Chains A and B, each alone.
Chain A
Amino acid sequence: MSPFRSRAATPAPPPAPEPSDWDTPQLPSVPRYEHGSRVPGWDDAVDLTKDPAVIPDPASTPVPEGMRKTIEAAMARYPDRHSASIPALHAAQAEHGWCSPEAIDQVAAVMQVTPAYLTSVATFYDMLVTHPKGRHDVFVCTNISCSLRGADELYEAMNVAAEDDPEITVRSFECLGACDLAPMASVNGEYVGPLEPADAKRIVEDLQAGRPVLEAKQLRKRPSADPEARGA
């Protein structure tokens, strides 16, 4: 039996509402966003009356000296200065804590590109953050190999352990390339694993005390798994 036949037996739908009624949603059961649509739209509204930002004037945009040097050195490494955008944004994030509008303006002034260009780059990459975050980054890998070994529980535990410290930002991250340590995390760039949910507390304590994180479980100390590859 075809569904089309069964559908033909159902009563005809009510007539379409008058155009004047179209503004008000007729289906209260469908969740809608504030602006009345079922799609989320943009997080931040854009002021369409404003002119686009131009390349900032270096004379009126103060840039921290170390950051300027890093960006200029990066630009010198490539045939095209645009190639330095990721290293430059990394430097700005290290300086400002995140890619804030001021940070992006400063990079734009040094690189002589528009802030919009840099924003387009910063929003593409997971490690560049365009909203305020804590000083410490904890990336918990929740991709396939780690999740098979309990990464989701670890991520939960890590969130609970760090919830009282605004300086620690915990994120679930896509495969960090250390499935031999599964489940693992990258704490300020230091790979640690395999972790138990109980290790979460220790990670937070180590970060707060300014100690190396979970020294015994650091990747850099791990020998090769291939037994024949070892030996001095």
Chain B
Amino acid sequence: MKKILFDRIDEPGLNTLSVYERRGGYDALRKALGMDREQVVEELLTSGIRGRGGAGFQMGKKVSFLPKGDMDKFLVCNADESEPGTFKDRELMQKSPHMLIEGIIIAAYAGGIDHSFIYIRGEYEYQADILDAAIEEARAAGYIGERILDSDFSLSVVLHRGAGAYICGEETGLLDSLEGKRGNPRLKPPFPAVEGLYDSPTLINNVETLSTVPHIIRMGGAEYAKIGTETSTGTKLLSVSGDVKRPGNYEIELGIPSRQIIYELAGGPLDGRQIKLWFPGGSSAPVLTADDLDIPYDFDSLAKAGSMLGSGAIIVVDDSHSVLEVAMKLAKFYAHESCGKCVPCREGTNWTVKMLERIDSGEATPMDLEIMSSVQEQIIGNCLCVLGDAMAMPIGSMIDKYRPELEAHIEAARERAGSGALADVVALGVADEHAGPMPVH
């Protein structure tokens, strides 16, 4: 398949302006500046490109939602890549920073925006240094600043380094963090397109989405839409990790079978191992089993299978790991990263950790699984942002799909801890379906 974002990505010096320009860099910007703003938005809409950050919202629509008129408008590039299992933006920014900058300039032009920020996670120090240098080069060459390429369009680009918080990948948490506060998500609506950074209309897009913009302008939206499937157009960078032979970033055409990605590109499971479960779109996606490997990898097919494409991070877990171990890692992560603003998320994530620990220490009964399921249900949709949902969905799906294994784990742990055989507890009626929770001593 022809690579678009990853086309000769390892070419030495691609992070410098001279190599990028030699390869036709910033030609798309020239083309865009020769078009009307509405035409550029039209191309983005025609391309059908959906956001590559996690939610999968159409980028063209997002741009068209921005109010017209003379006011402060901002573009924020979300480079706070912190979804576990995701590392595609890191490679893009490190190896081809000018592609992102060109995309930002074109998107800002389309939205009539004159200030932009790149919010990069604080841990990506090396990538941030590269971006800083690239921004400086682009400014010196006249691609950023006042009256870009002699047009009447001006744009500033500022790189902002975060300081380590998963929640700042959530768009409104990111905005609060960029305003210098704790990264607590905001109530929506108003959406950022209406009231975002400094209470002004704000366009927020992921690194990969913005990096694709120059290619859409270069090829034309209609041509780009021919790649992939009807509702999932284009190519996608996938970060494959976990128990596979060749973990790494791969660019695929949306709609190819998931099996091909895991077995052909990433080399399949380690020798002598079987795939037990996999996350198709980062650790926040409901898990899929080995039976689901033939699902085409695109937004709608994965949604139909009860999961999601998310950030495009495939995490493969093989049969040497227990489901409980995976669930525990996840729950602890979300409990640590919950910002604490909404009660269902703050309490739900912490209680899920405690309930999983009970399973491991032999105090649990199968009823704990019911309670845990109900906790997950209570989190979903009840918070300002989806961090809590991001734990509730995979944990809920693990309880659904791996219940026998978890029950066996409960029984084995009880035996280990000498907590009494489960049969006796069940005889007491504790596992009765109408039973409420046991009083906590």
Contact = CB atoms under 8 A, between A and B. Distances in A.
A125 B81 CA distance: 15
A114 interface: no
A229 B247 contact: no
A144 B283 contact: yes
Given A3-B430, A30-B441, A145-B315, A224 B179 contact: no
A80 B180 CA distance: 9
Contacts of A35: none
A87 B161 contact: yes
B205 interface: no
Nearest to B122: A127
Interface stretch (A58-66, A154-162, A178-186, A208-216): A178-186
Interface stretch (A16-24, A48-56, A169-177): A169-177
Given A144-B330, A177-B90, A224 B6 contact: yes
Interface stretch (B9-17, B53-61, B301-309, B354-362): B9-17
B180 A83 contact: yes
Interface stretch (B218-226, B237-245, B383-391): B237-245
Interface in A129-153: 139, 142-145, 147-149
A47 interface: no
Interface stretch (B31-39, B40-48, B162-170): B162-170
B265 interface: yes
A30 B166 CA distance: 34
Contacts of B30: none
Describe B's contact surface by its main secondary structure: loop
B86 interface: yes
B9 A224 contact: yes
B7 A229 contact: yes
A17 to B, nearest CB: 17
Interface string A23-37: 000010110000000
B179 A176 contact: no
Nearest to B241: A179
Interface string A94-133: 0000000000000000000000000011001111100000
B102 interface: no
A146 to B, nearest CB: 9
Interface stretch (B123-131, B188-196, B369-377): B123-131
Contact of B84 (A120, A121, A145, A220): A145
Contacts of A81: 180
A82 B434 contact: no
A13 to B, nearest CB: 11
B68 interface: no
B260 interface: no
B138 to A, nearest CB: 16
Contacts of B158: 77-78
B435 interface: yes
Contacts of B122: 86, 90, 125, 127
B247 A180 contact: yes
Interface in A173-232: 173-180, 182, 186, 189-191, 219-220, 223-226, 228-232
- B interface, size bucket: 35 or more
Which of B87, B336, B430 is most buried by chain A, counting CB atoms within 10 A of its CB?
B87
B195 to A, nearest CB: 15
A80 B74 CA distance: 13
Interface string A1-20: 11101100000000000000
Contact of A147 (B246, B329, B438): B329
B251 interface: yes
Contacts of B243: 148-149
Given A180-B241, A191-B126, A226 B85 contact: no
A178 B124 CA distance: 10
A1 B433 CA distance: 10
A226 to B, nearest CB: 5
B3 interface: yes
A124 B165 contact: yes
Contacts of B326: 144, 148
Interface in B419-438: 428-430, 432, 434-436, 438
A145 B163 contact: no
Given A80-B180, A226-B250, A89 B163 contact: yes
Contact of A175 (B83, B125, B198, B247): B83
A145 B85 contact: yes
A79 interface: yes
Contacts of B250: 225-226
Contacts of B178: 83
Contacts of A83: 160, 178-180
Contacts of A79: 72, 115, 198
A84 interface: yes
Contacts of B3: 226, 228-229
Given A1-B429, A3-B435, A220-B94, 13 more contacts: A3-B432, A3-B436, A3-B438, A79-B115, A86-B163, A125-B163, A126-B163, A143-B84, A175-B86, A182-B241, A182-B242, A224-B249, A231-B8
24 contacts: A3-B438, A5-B429, A6-B428, A29-B441, A78-B158, A82-B180, A87-B161, A90-B122, A90-B161, A145-B84, A174-B84, A175-B84, A175-B85, A175-B86, A180-B248, A182-B242, A182-B247, A220-B94, A224-B91, A224-B248, A225-B246, A225-B247, A229-B3, A231-B10
The 7 lowest CB-CB distance pairs between A and B, nearest first, are: A225-B248, A179-B241, A126-B164, A125-B163, A82-B180, A229-B6, A189-B125
